[in-house]
Every structure is written in C-alpha cells, then in structure tokens.
C-alpha cells in the first residue's frame, strides 16, 4: 500500500498530505465514494456542513472497519453560523451527523468579512479546541488581511488555511505568508475543476513521466508542500489519484507547471463571497 507522508501542524498534530474530498459528492453517492477511498488507503477525509454529506461520511467510516483514530476527518463551520451560539449549535450538529465525539480539524469555511463576525467565530472555535472536541482548528478561504485580523486578536494561530490552489492560481504570496506563520496550506480545487488536465504543458509532462495529467498536477502540489484532497466518485480515478508518491517531478517540470499561473480562480473571491 502507498505510504502517504504526514505534514506536522503547528500544534504537533500530524495530517496526511493526501486526502479525499467530498465537495459536490451527492449524499446518495458519498458512502460508496468514501468506502472506495478508504479501501484504496486514504486516511484523510475532508467534508463540510455546507456539502450536506457529513452523515454519510461518518456512516462510511463506521462501516469500513478502519478505526476512528486512524482516519483524519475535517469539517467546517457553515456561513451564517459565525455568532457564538450559532457556531456552538452548528458544531454540535456536525458531530452528531458524523457520529463522532471529536473531529481532527474544524475550519471556518469562509470569512464573510462584510459581516464582520469571523474573529468572534474564531474565538468560539478556540473553545472547541480547548475542550478537545476539535483536535486542531483552522480557516478556509482566508486572505492575508483576514489572517492578520485573527493575529491582532492575540489568540491561537490557525493550524491550516484551506484555499483555492492549482497551477492557474499558485497563490505564492499567500502561501509564503502562511509558511512564515507556520500555517499549513490545504489546496482545494487542486485540478482547477478538471480544466488543467487539458493544458498542453501538463500533457507534455504527463507523457514524459508516463503519468496522467491529474497525477502530474497532484504530484506538483505535494512536492510544493501543499495538503491536497482530490474528489471523485469513480473507483478507478480514486485509485489513480492516490498513486502519486512513486515518482518525482524534476525542478524544470515543477517550474514549468508553476509558470502556468494566471491568478485565475474557479471559485469566488473570499473578499466578496458571503
């Protein structure tokens, strides 16, 4: 079985660098998809209240025969739930849906900066971390200025920042800022929602390495140090995405992929969303 490297977070907790994402996986397809991923060897599952499939993720893990302590599970605080009492209710509901008494990582899903409540939400997440029900806490879709607002409050430094990253949006400045503050970067939409697979530069590297375009891009992510969790409901693709640690891209190939940056998003800008 492929051995997935761990990344050590700033609180000492280890997180598998490759995981399985369930964004846009329909609830009625989630149990089968997560079951297939666990069978292949994934031990890191990323979900969210917003995805509507937390219950199915928990069900798949419970049925899998894999011990709860052997699977790293992330879920997220939904938009509109940033006020303390709402955040507490949402967190309790997520634990209940998953069937767990703790999660490995709990994130603020979007800053919703125009509402001005994300710092207060972060203070509430710190409660969950202190009582042990969230082993680590972090944020998602935070720009540098959002992170700086948390730092100004003087509390816990987020363990991770989950942001859109792919070769068309390399996020070099934000990644460098996170590295400076020991915040691990998780990459969502790592394949630019499939668009990157058709890029001629990626295709050439795939041919040269004897790999698929998706494997090449996922390998680029891991060699950069990103934590990544591609999603699929197709067992063969789930297995393919897992097989990225038995080859290495050259420095020239890494640079060629990074040079594709266009600062092009496939999702919304966090400054204007929510």
User: Which of 220, 138, 101 has the alpha carbon at shortest distance from 230?
Assistant: 220
Q: Active-site positions?
A: 51
Indicate if the alpha-carbon torsion angle 96, 101, 105, 106 is positive or negative. positive
The C-alpha angle 232, 235, 240, rounded to 5 degrees, equals 80
Q: Which strand (E) or helix (H) includes residue 208?
A: helix 200-209
CATH number for 6-194+224-234 (one of 3.90.1150.10, 3.40.50.300, 3.20.20.100, 3.40.50.1820): it is 3.20.20.100
Q: Could you tell me what percent of the chain has a pLDDT over 70?
A: 100
Q: Could you tell me what percent of the chain has a pLDDT over 90?
A: 96
Residue 220: helix, strand or coil by DSSP?
Answer: helix
Average pLDDT of every residue of the chain: 97
**Binning pLDDT at 50, 70 and 90, where does residue 2 land?**
confident
Q: Where along the chain do its domains lie?
A: 6-194+224-234
Q: How high is the pLDDT of residue 37?
A: 98
Residue 91: helix, strand or coil by DSSP?
Answer: helix
**Binning pLDDT at 50, 70 and 90, where does residue 154 land?**
confident
For the full predicted model, state whether its pTM sits above 0.75.
yes
pLDDT tens across 87-109, in order?
Answer: 999 999 999 999 999 999 999 99
Cβ burial of 33 (10 Å; 0-12, 13-18, 19+) is buried
User: What are the backbone angles phi and psi of residue 8, rounded to the nearest 5°?
Assistant: -90, 120
Pairing of strands 6-8, 14-16: antiparallel
**Binning pLDDT at 50, 70 and 90, where does residue 246 land?**
very high
What are residue 72's DSSP bridge partners?
44
């Amino acid at each position: 079985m492929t051995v997935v490297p761990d990344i050590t977070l700033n609180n000492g907790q280890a997180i598998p660098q490759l995981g399985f994402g369930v964004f846009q996986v329909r609830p009625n397809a989630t149990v089968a998809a997560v079951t297939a991923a666990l069978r292949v060897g994934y031990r890191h599952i990323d979900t969210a209240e917003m995805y509507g499939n937390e219950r199915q993720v928990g069900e798949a893990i419970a049925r899998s025969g894999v011990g709860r302590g052997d699977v790293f599970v992330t879920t997220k605080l939904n938009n509109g739930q940033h006020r303390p009492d709402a955040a507490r209710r949402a967190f309790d509901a997520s634990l209940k849906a998953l069937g767990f008494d703790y999660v490995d990582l709990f994130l603020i899903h979007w800053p919703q900066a125009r509402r001005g409540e994300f710092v207060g939400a972060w203070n509430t997440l710190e409660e969950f971390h202190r009582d042990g029900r969230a082993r680590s806490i972090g944020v998602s879709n935070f720009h540098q200025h959002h992170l700086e607002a948390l730092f100004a409050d003087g509390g816990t430094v987020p363990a991770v920042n989950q942001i859109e990253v792919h070769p068309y949006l390399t996020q070099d400045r934000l990644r460098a800022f996170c590295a400076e503050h020991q915040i691990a970067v998780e990459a969502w939409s790592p394949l630019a929602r499939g668009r990157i697979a058709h890029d001629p530069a990626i295709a050439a590297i795939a041919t040269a390495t004897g790999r698929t375009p998706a494997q090449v891009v996922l390998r680029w992510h891991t060699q950069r140090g990103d934590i990544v969790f591609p999603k699929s409901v197709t067992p063969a693709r789930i297995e393919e995405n897992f097989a990225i640690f038995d080859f290495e891209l050259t420095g020239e190939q890494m640079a060629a992929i990074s040079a594709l940056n266009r600062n092009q998003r496939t999702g919304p800008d966090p400054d204007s969303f929510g």
